[in-house]
Structure 1
Amino acid sequence: MILKYIPLDEGMMIMDEAIVKAKKIIEGYPETKFSGEEYQRFYEYPLCVYFMCTYHSSNEKTMQLYEKFRNSLEESIFSTVLPTLVNKQGANLLREFVVIWSNYKLMARWLCRFFEYLDRFFIPQHIELESLNGISFSCFRDLVFKKLYCRLIEAALTLINQEREGQQIDCVLLKNVLDIFVEISDYKGVNYYEDFERIMLTEISGYYSQLASEWLLHDSSAEYVQKVFWCLNREKQRARQYLHPDTEVKIVQVVRYHLLDQIADKLMEKRQAENSGMVTDYQVPINLQMSNFIIVA
C-alpha cells in the first residue's frame, strides 16, 4: 500500500462521511451496511486516521480526532437516542431501550474501527485518556442510562408485579433489560443490577408481609402452608426466567422470612386454635422462628 499525504481538512471530510453512514445504524436503518468499497475507502485505504495522525503528527491534531470520536457519539445520543426514549413509558420504554442499546453498540463498533489507530498508538501514550470502547460506554451510561435509570427500574418492576399478579408479560424483554443493567455495571464497577435488585427485594418484602397478614386472617393453617409452597415455587420460576441466578436465593430468603419466620408463632397458635375450635386474634405481632413447620426451598 502506498501512503499518500492527505490534508487534514480533506481527511476530516472523509471521516465525516463515514461517521454519517455509521450514525444511520442508530437511526434504525436495518439496511445500513458498509460495502467492501466503502470500508476500504473509510478504513483500509487511505486509512484516514492513520495518515492524519502520521502526517499531522502533533498531539493537538491527534487530540482533535480523539474528540471527534467522542463528539460523534454524543451527537447521536442528543439527536436520536434521547428524543426516541424521553417520552416513552413502561414496556414501550423498555422495548425502545433494548433496540437503541443494540444499535448504539453496533454504531460504536464501526466508529472504533475507523479510529482504531488512536486506540493502538495514541491512547496508550496518554494513560489519562479513556479507550475508544470506554468512551462509547461512558457516553451512553452518563448521558442516557443514568438519565433513564429510575424510569427503567420502575418499568421493570411494574412488569414483575404484573406477572406476579397473573398477567402475561414479555419475559424475554425483561431479561434483556436486566442483562443490560449487568453489562453496563461490569464496565466501571458500579453495579446497577444490584441497585435494582435491592429495590426489588424491598418491594417483595412489603408485598409478602401484607399477604401474610391477609392469609392469617382468612385461611386455615393448612391453606396458608399450601400457599407458601406455591409462592416459593412461583418465585423460583420467575427468577429463573429473567433474573440473575444469585437473585433467586435472595428472593427465596425474603419470601420465607415474611411468610414463615416472621409469623411462625402466630401460625402455630392458629393451628392449635383450629384443633380446639377456638378463634385467634393477630393484632399484636410476635417475631419468633418457626419450629414445627419446615418448608424446603
Structure 2
Amino acid sequence: MQFIQLDEGLVIIEEAFQKAKRIVEGYPDTKFTSEEYMKFHACVYTLCYKPGDDNKVLLHEKFKKSLEETINSTVLPSLAAKENELLLRELVLMWSNYKLMAKWLCRFFEYLDRYYSSFCCGVSLGETSIDCFRSMVFNVLHGRIQAAAMSLINEERHGKQIDPKLLQDVMTIFMEIGENRSTSYYENFVQAMLEETAAFYSQSSSQWVVYDSLTDYIQKVNWCIMQEKERAGHYLHPTSVKKLIQVLQCQLLDMNALKLVEKLQSQNSSQLDYQEILSKCACLSIGEESSTPTLAEHLSALMAKSAHIH
C-alpha cells in the first residue's frame, strides 16, 4: 500500500468534490472514469487506514462540509427566486442531480462509510446527504413548496391543464425526504390537501344544494368524485386517494343528506325518478375494495336514514 500525506490526500479528494459538484451545477451527464474512481477510492482508503480516528473524523466532516457548500453555492440560489410551478420543477431537478452527486461521493467514501460513519456516527453517508438537503433546503422552503403543489392541484380542479408527472415527482420527494423520520412530509401534505378540499367542496355544495335540482346535484357529485379520483390517482398513493374520496363523500353527501331529502320531497320526485337518479351513479364505487359501497348504495342508505330522522 502506498501511503500519502493528509494534505496530499485532501487535494485529491477536493478534485473529486469539484467534479461531482458539476452534476448539481447543471451537468448531470458528468461521468467518472474507472481510473478516477480507483484514485479517489484508494485515496480515502489509504487515509482511513492510518491507526486512530483522526483522519476518519476529518474526512467525515469534509464530506458533510462539501455537501453544505454545494447546497449554499448552487442549490439554494437556483430555488430562491422561483415560485409555483417553476419552483417545483427546479426542486425536482436539483434533488435529482443532488442525489446523483451524493451517490458518486458515497462510492468514493465507501470505506469511511462502512468502517466509521455508519458504525461510529450511527448515520450512513447516504443518510447524511439527505439530512443536509432536508435541513438546509427542504425545511427552509417547505412552506413555499407545499403551497406551490397545492396551487397546481387547485388549478387542475378549476379546469386548467397541468403536468401530473411534476406533482408525482414532488410527492416522491416528500416521501424520500421524510423517510425514516418521525415527521412525514407526505402525510402532512395530504392532510393539508384534504382540509383544503373539504373547505372547497363545503362552500361549493352549499350553493349547489340550494340552486340545483336533485338530479343535477347528484350528477355533479358523481362527476366531481370521478374527476377527483382520476386526477389524484396520478400523483397520490392509493390510500391517500381513498381518504380524498371519503372527504368528498362527507362534504357532498353526508353533510347535505337532510337537505337532499327535503329537496326530494319538495320536488315531488317519484320513486321511479329517484331510482333513475341512482342508476346514473350505480357503477361508481366510493373506494377501491370490492366490499366498498357504490355511490348509489351509499346515497340510498344515507337518504333513507335521513328521511327517517327527518
With the length of structure 1 as denominator, give the TM-score of the two structures.
0.89
Task: Provide the rounded CA distance (Å) in 2 between the counterparts of 1:104 and 1:124.
Answer: 21
Q: Distance in 2 between matches of 1:218 and 1:245?
A: 34
Give 1:21 shift. Answer: 0.5
- In structure 1, the partner of 2:154 is 161
Instruction: Give the match's secondary structure for 1:176.
Output: helix
What's the offset of the Cα at 1:187? 3.1
Distance 1:162 1:191 in 2: 25
Q: Deviations over 1:155-175 (max 9, x none)?
A: 011100110111100100011
Asked whether the 8 Å contact 2:118–2:125 carries over to 1, the reply is: no
> Counterpart of 2:9 in structure 1: which amino acid?
G
Aligned mates of 1:73, 1:18 — CA distance in 2:
12
Once residues 293 and 187 of structure 1 are traced to their aligned partners in structure 2, the CA distance between those partners, rounded to angstroms, is: 44
Aligned-partner SS, 1:6: coil
C-alpha displacement of 1:40: 2.5
Aligned length: 275
What residue in structure 2 maps to residue 14 of structure 1?
12
Q: CA deviation at 1:49?
A: 1.0
Q: 1:82 aligns with which of 76, 82, 87?
A: 76
Cα offset, 1:254, TM superposition: 0.6
Q: Which moved more, 1:187-196 or 1:169-178?
A: 187-196
Q: 1:160 to 1:58 in 2, by over 3 A?
A: same
Matches within 5 A, 1:102-117: 102-117=96-111
Give, in angstroms, the shift of residue 86 of structure 1: 1.2
* RMSD of aligned alpha carbons: 1.7
| Cα distance change of structure 1 residues 151 and 125 upon mapping to structure 2, 3 Å threshold | closer
Separation of aligned partners in 2, 1:275 and 1:208: 27
Residue 91 of structure 2 is aligned to residue 97 of structure 1: yes
Q: Match of 1:48, as an amino acid?
A: C
> In structure 1, what is the Cα distance between the partners aligned to 2:6 and 2:60?
14
User: Is residue 2:125 matched to residue 1:132?
Assistant: yes
Q: For residue 210 of structure 1, what is the aligned residue in structure 2?
A: 203
Aligned equivalent of 1:248, options 231, 241, 250:
241
Report the counterpart of residue 274 of structure 2 in structure 1: none
Deviations 1:205-237 (A, max 9, x none): 110101111102221011001100111111110
Ranges of 4+ aligned residues in structure 1 off by more than 4 Å: none
Unaligned runs of 5+ in 1: 277-288
Identity %: 50
- Which of 118, 141, 148 does residue 148 from structure 1 map onto? 141
What SS does the corresponding residue of 1:143 show, helix, strand or coil?
helix
Q: Where do 5+ consecutive residues of structure 2 fail to align?
A: 270-300
Partner SS state of residue 169, structure 1: coil
